[in-house]
Amino acid sequence: MVRESFEGGQLKFLSPEEIVRIHQTSLKILEEGGVKVPLSEAMEVYRKGGARIGPDDQVVKIPATMVEEALKTAPRRIHLCGRDPANDLILESRKVYAGTGGGEIHTLDLETQKLRMATLKDVADLARLVDGLRYIDFYIRAVEAQDVPPEKLDVNKYYASLVNTGKHVMGNINSLEKVKEVINLGAMIVGSERELQQRPILSFITSWMLSPLTLNPDVTRILLEIVKHHMPVALSSVAIMGFSSPVTMAGNLALTHAEQLSGIVLTQLISPGSPVIYGGCPGVIDMRNASFSPGSIERQILNAAISQMAQYIGIPNYNIGGITDSKLPDVQAGYEKAFGLSLTALAGSNYIHHAAGRIRDGVAYEQYVIDNEIIGMAKRAVKGIRVNDETLALKEILELGPGGSYIASPHTVRFMREEIFFPGLSDRNNRNNWEMMGSLDGRERARIEVRRILREHKPLAIPRDIDKKIRKKFEILLQVE
């Protein structure tokens, strides 16, 4: 049992010839220019694997043969699980899933509509909100709680997430020693670390690359530890056009792809077959003032195109869609998010994060409800048009003839819910009825729905005996009703 997914790939910014050319350029970048590795442990892994290392510097030059060998062992299919098996995800080929993003430290308060510091309660409440939203496929812990001491943060944010959703949970780890702690938490919930490897209800993001082409030593240590435990991990790298990559899209893709290949090589040298997710997330700055521009159309195109690069080498990918520069859930957020999500979904991105909830400088509760609708519509676009004897409906057309009505046709009753997307948030009433219902705009309707879900929705509970053992082993700060 897995969550429903549809096959993307209808949209192709790159031709097959262009994909090959970018890939070959990336191999040359690694072989002739290399990556800087300011971490002796990682340097030694590369050296033993056959990389060339200069006598006086930290640059590792990776031959194409090493890349080819790594791509033979890296899994082409990754199973990410939910505590509820109905929420399992299969990342492969061009299957499309979309969910939340994380890392923000601010929340737009649902009631005051003011930006405030994020709390552990936000992590829990947003997980519960996402659990109650049909089209959001997974939960990357939405915010970094600012009311939790750093040394207690990692296990508490994963606990607050896992206890409030049956969907797959992903997040980062802030320190090396906390990797085992979070894995132990997951193992206690599913039974053992071996069972967690078989049914990974949690996974990790590592921003191990400081673009351009330089490993972050602290995060790379965390990456190495995760891979040693054979847990799924996304290799997040953000090369920014005109800042940390060439200003041209092709140059950005070549550099981003090279960074991803270097990470895949590293993980497969440590633990062949370890589940690694291609995580290229190209970025753009506004060249007028050098500010980062998450919602730019160029970034949306790049994230769709980088999916094609991951598909070319056969590795499941994680990237960005549905992100905005808007500071509020407004019309700008709507068109930037719809554009970005549609492009990445139609390109066949496997694991689209930041598809729900995020605004500039934080997250907004009502934005998750709005984005849930956008995701549903994007999935309907990916689903496309089925053409077969039944859907062509020749028999019905001939039987009803000119001037016939299809509204009560058995064919209509049979297929209408499969063919037509039924929105939960959008208002399709006529103006008179809309006015009678309060003349509410989409944002206010979304706020009402947030309150309803948080009041009524009950996520799948962790058994009391297991929860008691978790609380005995770890200092859990969140109180559960």
Summarised one tens digit per residue, pLDDT across range 156-206 is: 999 999 999 999 999 999 999 999 999 999 999 999 999 999 999 999 999
Q: Would you call 300 helix, strand, or coil by DSSP?
A: helix
Domain boundary among 383, 409, 441: 383
Q: Which two tokens stand for residue 217?
A: 């030593």
Query: Among 15, 13, 33, which Cα is nearest to 25's?
Result: 33
What's 365's domain CATH number? Answer: 3.20.20.480
Assess if residue 317 is contained within a domain: yes
Instruction: Please tell me whether residues 202 and 342 are part of one structural domain.
Output: yes
The average pLDDT across 231-238 equals: 98
Domain boundary among 356, 383, 410: 383
Band the pLDDT of 138: cuts 50, 70, 90. very high
- Per-residue model confidence (pLDDT) at position 479: 87
53: Cβ contacts below 8 Å, ≥ 6 apart: 43, 46, 47, 59, 60, 61
Instruction: Please tell me whether residues 278 and 397 are part of one structural domain.
Output: no
Q: What is the DSSP letter of 317?
A: B
Burial (Cβ within 10 Å: 0-12, 13-18, ≥19) of residue 432: exposed
Domain boundary among 332, 367, 383: 383
Band the pLDDT of 290: cuts 50, 70, 90. confident
Assess if residue 96 is contained within a domain: yes
d(CA 385, CA 445): 31
Assess if residue 283 is contained within a domain: yes
Assess if residue 28 is contained within a domain: no
- Per-residue model confidence (pLDDT) at position 20: 98
450 contacts 366 by C-beta, under 8 angstroms: yes
Instruction: Please tell me whether residues 397 and 359 are part of one structural domain.
Output: no
Q: What is the pLDDT of residues 148-170, one digit of tens each?
A: 999 999 999 999 999 999 999 99
d(CA 284, CA 271): 34
CA distances 8 to 81, 92, 304, 335, 349, Å, are 21, 11, 11, 21, 7
Assess if residue 402 is contained within a domain: yes
CB atoms within 10 A of CB 422: 10
Domain limits at 413?
Answer: 389-419
421: Cβ contacts below 8 Å, ≥ 6 apart: 376, 377, 380
User: Domain total for the chain?
Assistant: 2
Instruction: Please tell me whether residues 206 and 232 are part of one structural domain.
Output: yes
Max CA separation in the chain (angstroms): 83
Instruction: Please tell me whether residues 218 and 283 are part of one structural domain.
Output: yes
Instruction: Please tell me whether residues 412 and 327 are part of one structural domain.
Output: no
Q: What is the pLDDT of residues 428-463, one digit of tens each?
A: 999 999 999 999 999 999 999 999 999 999 999 999
Instruction: Please tell me whether residues 269 and 223 are part of one structural domain.
Output: yes
Instruction: Please tell me whether residues 289 and 356 are part of one structural domain.
Output: yes
Instruction: Please tell me whether residues 76 and 108 are part of one structural domain.
Output: yes
341 contacts 307 by C-beta, under 8 angstroms: no
Band the pLDDT of 286: cuts 50, 70, 90. confident
Instruction: Please tell me whether residues 153 and 93 are part of one structural domain.
Output: yes
Q: What is the pLDDT of residues 324-334, one digit of tens each?
A: 999 999 999 99
222 contacts 179 by C-beta, under 8 angstroms: yes
Instruction: Please tell me whether residues 257 and 328 are part of one structural domain.
Output: yes
Amino acid at 297: I
d(CA 355, CA 325): 13
Instruction: Please tell me whether residues 210 and 126 are part of one structural domain.
Output: yes
Q: Given a cut of 80, is residue 480 above it in pLDDT? A: no
Assess if residue 48 is contained within a domain: no
68 contacts 24 by C-beta, under 8 angstroms: no
Assess if residue 288 is contained within a domain: yes
The average pLDDT across 298-321 equals: 97
The per-residue DSSP string of 337-381 comes to HHHHHHHHHHHT-SEEEEEESEETTEEEHHHHHHHHHHHHHHHHH
The average pLDDT across 315-342 equals: 96
User: Average pLDDT of the chain?
Assistant: 96
d(CA 14, CA 61): 27
Q: Which two tokens stand for residue 227?
A: 């891979």
Assess if residue 309 is contained within a domain: yes
Band the pLDDT of 54: cuts 50, 70, 90. confident
Q: Would you call 333 helix, strand, or coil by DSSP?
A: helix
User: Any idea what the Cα angle at residue 264 is, between residues 260 and 267, rounded to 5°?
Assistant: 135
Single pTM value for the model: 0.96
